[in-house]
Amino acid sequence: MADIFVARPSMPELEEYIDEIKDLWETRRLTNMGDKHREFQGLLESYLKVPHIELLVNGHMALEMTLQAMELPEGSEVITTPFTFASTTHAIVRNGLTPVFCDIKEDDMTIDPEKIGSLITDRTSAILPVHVYGNICDVQAIGRIADEYGLKVVYDAAHTFGETYYDEGVGCFGDASIFSFHATKVFHSVEGGAVAYRDDALGAALYNLKNFGIRGPESVVSVGANAKMNELCAALGICNLRHIDDEIEIRKTVCERYTEQLADVNGVTVHRPQAHVRANYAYYPVRIDPEVYGEDRDALYMRLLEKGIRARKYFYPLTSDYECYREKFERGTTPVADKISRQVLKLPIYSGLEEQTIDMICGVIRNGR
């Protein structure tokens, strides 16, 4: 049997995409905010239920440029989680800011608001929480802290495309939220990303930054870069958006089958959607308690690999433990994140993952020891 990867991009029918890009062959308008870009932007604003969207080349640049657009004081501190993909911490550091690592909650693995207060100093400028695996952070508590101390809040919402909390788009919380449309995501445009925001000034700054700061043929107003989404990616996004609700529904059945088969395995914590959240079923992480399960996550990972099942240790190591950060920033202050990163394993999930394959994966987890 061929290897089972952790993710596999969903594609529209080839004819649908060809139809969508046909006019580009006529117009030759391939990038720099053309018609597809504008159309995709509008469609996303309504699908994501957010006031405004700025499209970017990928989720990382969306995050990096949002922090840049906010003009946070040089060297100031950003309270964040180390239990995330490299991008979150890199975006802080690449802006000349200092990450301050806060621990996460045991239940949903998002930043623990009760631990934020003691990390705030007169150098703190922002909070950068992550809605990890589609679990939405405690947005109310974070909002209260931000208001009290006058801090910006940028949510890394890379995992929460299309989710709502009490029917409100997840991108409505904080000052800005960034989404990733990478090929491995529940929704994608090959590469792509977006910032959801409310404040027009932030939108204008982002628009300038993603296009070298150019406002007109003879006017450059900020030190920008090139982080625009091109027309071919926008066109694929438009196609995939037509099918996103079906995609989420199919993934839901995959998640439910995993849960059905793994919920009663001692020492395995399954992934369940949060209350009041319209979940997108993008990820299916399990946690392995070695004391109860009888072997640790790494041993299970190897047993799965021997069968060609390429589960992934998202997110291990913690970003605070990366070689490039180890000696630079304080670490070892996040015991819950540390424990969970040693226990977590993300199982394969994509539409088209067959029932018998899910059952085989569950069989290895249930019976293999």
Residues of this chain that bind ligand T4K (CB under 6 A): 5-9, 58-60, 84-85, 87-88, 130, 156, 158-159, 180, 182-184, 193, 310, 314
Q: For residues 163-182, b (16+ Cβ closer than 10 Å) or e, as one string?
A: bbbeeebbbbbbbbbbbbbb
Q: Are 72 and 97 in contact (CB under 8 A)?
A: yes
Say which residue the tokens 């309504």 belong to. 46
Nearest approach in angstroms of CB 72 to ligand T4K is 18
Q: Which is nearer to ligand T4K, 193 or 237 (CB)?
A: 193
If the CB atoms of residues 124 and 180 are measured against ligand T4K, the closer one turns out to be: 180
Question: Cβ of residue 181: shortest distance to ligand T4K, in angstroms?
Answer: 7
Looking at the Cβ atoms of 6 and 239, the one nearer to ligand T4K is 6
Give the nearer residue to ligand T4K in terms of CB position, either 33 or 56: 56
Cis preceding linkage at 217, omega within 30: no
Q: Mapping DSSP to helix (H, G, I), strand (E, B) and coil, where does residue 168 land?
A: strand
CB of 122 to ligand T4K, least distance (A): 28
What is the rounded CA–CA span in Å between residue 38 and residue 284? 33
Residue 191 C-beta: closest distance to ligand T4K, Å? 6
**Cβ-based nearer residue to ligand T4K, 251 or 293:** 251
Minimum distance of ligand T4K from residue 66's CB (angstroms): 12
The position carrying tokens 């703190």 is 124
Main-chain dihedrals φ then ψ at residue 165, nearest 5 degrees: -125, 120
Question: Closest Cα partner for 154 from 104, 96, 212, 198?
Answer: 198
Q: Which residue is nearest to ligand T4K (CB)?
A: 59
How far is it, in rounded angstroms, from Cα 224 to Cα 316?
33
